[in-house]
């Protein structure tokens, strides 16, 4: 496995946790964080950081060369709900950055590239329960369109140029990072609201079920896929990935087991239509078969762990005010 890693979008929900995870495995100096804005302490531990816009091919090429990069985790992207506010910007941001990363990999001898696809690649015409690996990809959001186009582009660079690019379709991700404009943001918002306000008005219906995953499982999945021998990754792009599926109401009930006075109301907005176009659960048996994927966190364990992480932090924040 390569030891000089560049992580784009390092200040985002995934990147802010992936960088410390990678640095703990490969050493702080071997993992270069990159983003358009500087990280806020203590988001990232000590280690190299570069200000970088992935739409700038020259700057991206220079960063890879200057730091001797041989592996890229490309995480910079505009998410689903924000993308619907400005579809053209979402297309340009998501596709130009991916093209440039793949082009740098092709021309600079980058050994491996990780790029996250999403359940947003599916549309309302797929089976919503246990959506199969090879279900049709007919998304109804620009974010989903960029994910389908991205999967095809990654496959093209692999087939034409031999770029070892690997991707999986993340479900909704839950972590202690603040939401970044996605349709599944309600889950993270619910935790913060439970601890800070004691109530939450959810923008999805109570019975809305979506496939979700706790961030420690997501990090493990990405690194396991990247560390797998080439023979164990025959697909290269678009592996279905599942953790646990639950409704907004089920998440609220589980949080209420820990915080009995927590109140949740439901006022669906435009994001409900997006959620209704996505699977309720996905079949990830191909990932489990090919490279040994297995999640660890179910709903109760996730809620217990995340509340234990957030509670002392928010308590400390209140003391500082």
List active site positions.
143
The values of phi and psi at residue 125, to 5°, are -90, 0
Distance CA 114, CA 13 (A): 16
């Amino acid at each position: 496995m390569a030891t000089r890693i560049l992580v784009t979008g390092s200040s985002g929900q995934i990147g802010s946790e992936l960088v410390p995870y990678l640095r703990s495995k490969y050493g702080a100096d071997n993992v270069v964080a990159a983003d358009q804005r500087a990280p806020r302490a203590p988001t990232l531990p000590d280690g190299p950081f570069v200000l970088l816009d992935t739409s700038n091919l020259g700057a991206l090429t220079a960063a890879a060369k200057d730091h001797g990069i041989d592996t890229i985790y490309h995480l910079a992207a505009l998410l689903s709900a924000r993308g619907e506010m400005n579809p053209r910007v979402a297309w340009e941001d998501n596709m130009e950055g991916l093209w440039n990363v793949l082009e740098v990999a092709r021309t600079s001898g980058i050994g491996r590239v990780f790029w996250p696809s999403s359940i947003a690649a599916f549309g309302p015409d797929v089976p919503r329960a246990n959506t199969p690996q090879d279900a049709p990809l007919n998304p109804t959001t620009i974010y989903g369109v960029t994910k389908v186009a991205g999967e095809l582009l990654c496959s093209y660079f692999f087939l034409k140029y031999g770029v070892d690019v690997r991707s999986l379709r993340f479900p909704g991700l839950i972590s202690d990072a603040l939401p970044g404009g996605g349709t599944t943001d309600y889950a993270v918002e619910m935790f913060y609201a439970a601890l800070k306000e004691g109530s939450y008005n959810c923008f999805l219906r109570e019975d809305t079920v979506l496939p979700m995953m706790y961030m420690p499982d997501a990090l493990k999945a990405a690194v396991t896929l990247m560390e797998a021998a080439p023979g164990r990754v025959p697909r290269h792009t678009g592996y279905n990935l599942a953790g646990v599926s639950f409704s907004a109401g089920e998440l609220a009930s589980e949080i209420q087991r820990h915080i009995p006075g927590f109140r949740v109301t439901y006022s669906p907005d435009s994001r409900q239509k997006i959620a209704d176009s996505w699977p309720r659960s996905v079949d990830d048996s191909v990932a489990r078969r090919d490279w040994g994927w297995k999640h660890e966190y179910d709903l109760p364990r996730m809620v217990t762990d995340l509340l234990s992480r957030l509670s002392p932090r928010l308590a400390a924040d209140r003391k500082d005010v």
